[in-house]
């Protein structure tokens, strides 16, 4: 059972480039979320989805897009990378309303 | 405005002693609280949770206490082991919205052998 799988683990982008961070879960969880972790700031919510076809913005959504065409996949798109998006990105899935979130291993992104 | 606060960035404890990690929150709508442990270069892993209808939850060496009137929760680890050395995050959600947890900034625990 793989749980939550994120790819890639590391990525370096130039300012202005675009890319997609992949996230897949095999637990049939309805809820999926993207967080970023920055030094001294904990994890902050970027976007979330409560089911296939349903997404919404979190605390820090600017510069990111998401879509959820299947229950399993929840990709995060950086439209035009900026140095301020240098961070560690975590994808998570949650089973229901009284449940912990299961996290992927993270993607460390550096924008130069 | 930070709704979940962990005011101690770091904590050192001797092996075998108790570790107490603290977390404060400001949003009275929070009704579900969790603690996560995070090792470097790994994702956070779930440790223990507590619902607002309880004031204590135990799982082996880990106990979480919730004081709703003070808007405070704490994680007790007894006895502490070197493998417990990690960053610990508390997180909270409201109204079943477990897709949008609010996290604290973390406390780095170091257990000294």
Per-residue model confidence as pLDDT tens digits over A10-35? 999 999 999 999 999 999 999 999 99
Interface of B with A (CB under 8 A): 4, 6, 9, 32, 34, 36, 41-46, 49, 51, 89, 91, 96-106
Q: What is the DSSP letter of B83?
A: G
> Residue A2 has what pLDDT?
80
> Residue A19 has what pLDDT?
96
Question: What is the residue-wise DSSP string for B40-67?
Answer: TTS--EEEEEEETT-SEEEETTEEEEEE
pLDDT tier, A1 (very low <50, low <70, confident <90, very high otherwise): low
Percent of chain B with pLDDT over 90: 94
The mean pLDDT value for B86-106 works out to 94
Q: Which residues of B are less than 8 Å from A48 in CB distance?
A: 99-100
Q: Choose the mutation target among B99, B101, B103, B106 for the interface with A, i.e. most A CBs under 10 Å.
A: B99
**Which burial class, exposed, middle or buried, applies to B113 when counting CB atoms under 10 A from its CB (0-12, 13-18, 19+)?**
exposed
Q: What is the DSSP letter of A71?
A: S
A104 and B34: CB-CB below 8 Å? no
Q: Choose the mutation target among A36, A91, A100 for the interface with B, i.e. most B CBs under 10 Å.
A: A100
If one compares A98 and B75, the residue with the highest pLDDT of the two is: B75
The mean pLDDT value for B6-15 works out to 97
> Residue B2 has what pLDDT?
84
What tokens does B54 get?
């309880």
Helix (H) or strand (E) holding A17: none
Per-residue model confidence as pLDDT tens digits over A57-102? 999 999 999 999 999 999 999 999 999 999 999 999 999 888 899 9
**Which burial class, exposed, middle or buried, applies to A1 when counting CB atoms under 10 A from its CB (0-12, 13-18, 19+)?**
exposed
User: Are β-strands B102-103 and B72-77 bridged in parallel, bridged antiparallel, or unpaired?
Assistant: unpaired
Q: Compute the distance between CA of residue B73 and CA of residue B38 in angstroms, rounded to an integer.
A: 19
């Amino acid at each position: 059972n793989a749980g939550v799988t994120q790819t890639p683990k590391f990525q370096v982008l130039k300012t202005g480039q675009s890319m997609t961070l992949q996230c897949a879960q095999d637990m049939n969880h309805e809820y999926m979320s993207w967080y970023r972790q920055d030094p001294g700031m904990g994890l902050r919510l970027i976007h979330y989805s409560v089911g296939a076809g349903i997404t919404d913005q979190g605390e820090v959504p600017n510069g990111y897009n998401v879509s959820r065409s299947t229950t399993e996949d929840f990709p995060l798109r950086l439209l035009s990378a900026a140095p301020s998006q240098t961070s560690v990105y975590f994808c998570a899935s949650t089973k229901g309303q009284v449940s912990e979130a299961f996290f992927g291993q993270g993607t460390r992104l550096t924008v130069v | 405005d930070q709704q979940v606060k962990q005011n101690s960035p770091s904590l050192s404890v001797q092996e075998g002693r108790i570790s107490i990690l603290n977390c404060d929150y400001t949003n009275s709508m929070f009704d579900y609280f969790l603690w996560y442990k995070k090792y470097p270069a790994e994702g956070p892993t779930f440790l223990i949770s507590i619902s607002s209808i309880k004031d204590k939850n135990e799982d082996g060496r880990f106990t979480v206490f919730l004081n709703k009137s003070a808007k405070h929760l704490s994680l007790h680890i007894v006895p502490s082991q070197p493998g417990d050395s990690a960053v610990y995050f508390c997180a909270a959600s409201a109204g079943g919205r477990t897709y949008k947890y609010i996290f604290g900034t973390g406390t780095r625990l170091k257990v000294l052998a």
